[in-house]
Structure 1
Amino acid sequence: MTHGQAGGQAGGKPHAQPQESASAPAQTLRRTLGLFDAVTIGLGAMIGAGIFASLGPAADAAGSGLFYGLAIAGFVAYCNAMASARLAALYPVAGGTYVYGRERLGEFWGYLAGWAFVVGKTASCAAMALTVGTYVWPGQAHAVAVGAVAMLTALNCLGVQKAAWMNRVIVALVLSVLAAVVVVCVGSSQSGTEGAPAGVTGVLQSAGLLFFAFAGYARIATLGEEVRDPARTIPRAIPLALGITLVVYAAVALAVVSVLGTGGLATASAPLADAVRAAGASGLAPVVRAGAAVAALGALLALILGVSRTTLAMARDRHLPGVLAAVHPRFQVPQRAEIAVGVVVAVLAATADLRAAIGFSSFGVLLYYAIANASAWTLSSRLRARALPALGLVGCLVLAATLPASSVLWGAVVIAVGAGVFFVRRTLIPVRK
């Protein structure tokens, strides 16, 4: 990977201007986050609406093999996160794999990572909005979802940002709700029906769907500009946050399955609320619904912010329409990118199915992390150092390929369209000097 390695050096001419631009924020952002803050941010990104939404589709795919799928999803997430951690320590700038792929593999792979992130996380936004609707008002889930997107987009356009203390409040609230679900379900004598055992393909498909619930872990890595001693803090924070999350997810899944069974879980529209109701604690169901809605709103706010900022970065590099690169002079936010993302998410939230949105999101995000692992592969020539990114790369591609057929088909079409746009643009428009 001589070309990619050359691009990562200060004098690498092909990437000199993008690298300079990407490095500019480092002059203004302060390194204030320690290990505790980094772990809390990781927990806030992972322990949220994903666990409220993805258990049902995963149980439908895997049946009694649900927990094998959870273990596989957790392992692939770990491989991806450690690859992102190594890259973030080397490139402590904003942009994530959009930067890593460009610097290590070349401009096209960085662009493809950014495109996969934007389309995958846009679907994640729709899934979070639909989760809000499903738990708040099941009969009008799409209308509530569109309203939530409109409200948060308007707030983002005014410069509203989620502070670190608010992240801690949301994490504490969601953990409290999940703990209550576990206690109620474990103490119940109710038992559900087991789903039919699934083969290897079903287990892998469930792992791909459950990966959706882990997909926020790399937010720790993307904060490389603001973490104190990132080369030491980030590699410690990621496995800690992932380990805590995996334990929480396993406990919740075991508790819910003990009441609903994998068969009942597979057909539940709001699995955790249905579980506490089946366990005889109907009074707790509104609390669970409220907790799910708060978690989903927090995740949706952060996702819209992240997608709009990646859209802004790609627009600045002319990979997306340049009009989206404008920053509002008063509120200092990319309002046009915010509005564009909000409109697309609202359309998806009004028309898409929650399970389809989860599958499509997982496909795009898995390809994004596949490029992160390929980028990490170039960091060392030692076999031992390459083992984890190699496993992560293979794991991402396998899980993406075994997602529901409609998710794979539409995901492949959208990724192919993005790649086609890149090559047409390179052919018709001269590369900027």
Structure 2
Amino acid sequence: MSIKLGELNDYLELAEECTIPLQEPEAPKGEVQLRTREEVAALKKQAKEERAKPERAEISLQDCLACSGCITSAEAVFVQSQGGARFMQVLTDNVEAGFRPVVSIAPQSLVSLAVHYNLPHAEVFSKLSAFFKTNGAELVSTNEGQAEALRDFIREFEQLAPEQLPLVVSSCPGFVCVCEKQNPEVLPKMSRVGSPMAYTAAWVHSTRPEGTKHLSIQPCFDRKLESARPEFQPGAATEVVISPFELVDVISDKLGVDSLESVESDSVAVDPVPEGVSGNYGEHLCAHYGVSNSEWRPKRRGNPDFTVSEAELPMKGGPTRVMLYKAYGARNIYNVTRMVRTRGERAVIEAMACPGGCVMGGGQCPAPDSVGHKTFAGMVHDAWDKLEVAGLDGVRHSEVVRQTFIDHVETAKDATTATMAQLQW
């Protein structure tokens, strides 16, 4: 018999390796003066006595994200600040104020819920639509937000010359925050493309009456903190973010998923792009230009979260052989930053903080006790593959809604600074 201990670092204090420096003002520079040893000793003693204690560092949730593990308790921090109870309270308050709030769900979150309930994706989406409709809200997918992010990414890539590579692209707030705090030299190489959640929020606020709240179901806790960034207010604001397993608790408290009826929905699924569980930026580049890329392979043996492919892509100056990377998880974040620092490779690098990518995000429904992690990961990836092939089983926005998104999000992007590189997190 053995006992397995876990969550041993699950505390709410500042981590020892906290990367937020305590800034002290620089002493003013004056003229050089010659002094005797006695005078120098007296001045040192006086300075020591008069030196004021530095102010205590104030660190908010907006600062921490996934940078150093300071905030490791989902129950005590994230769930209390943006949990299911607040999610439903904001939704109810918005309905009572005369609005129809919009709830968006990431496709990765939908996959997690489909595996948890052992139901087809479309049926889960339909039941969730019924649940939120009963509570006065509308459910949409962030897939169209992802499509707009990919459109922006293509526009950005088309403006680059080969010597401006590498380009690091990420919709992951955890990765961006790590770079800002520990590896600022990566920021100039970072794509300006925002997250699907931010684009979806911009669409909601551009097309719905002022005062309509946007809430979202996302696969990781970092999205909660992304929504708290002041730079997203008000043009791309997401009021509350919860994870799939928090949503399961909300539904269970209400009536249970089996009691939910199914309804038709106008939500969207863009045409699927294979082989991607997060942003699919490299695949989308190849699909856009109609070129094929080599088979994805591990960059290093035994590291499936750091893969590489290559393709010949049109760039300013002519066709260019470009390396395509996917780097998921903390250790591979440092591989990425090392690549950017030490060599100017002609590469496009997709980086996410969660091992396994967004589909295995920290907020997803956990594996049952009887199922091992490796087996469960296989189940989740199989479900994701089915989602891609089915294209959310044919559920799509109408073309009117799709075009409305495209038209209005452009206006919203002009009015807000909600893009990754512009924010300089």
**TM-score w.r.t. length of structure 2:** 0.24
Relative contact order, higher structure (CA 8 A, sep 6+):
1
Higher helix fraction: Structure 1 or Structure 2?
A: 1
**TM-score w.r.t. length of structure 1:** 0.24
Bigger Rg, structure 1 or 2? 2
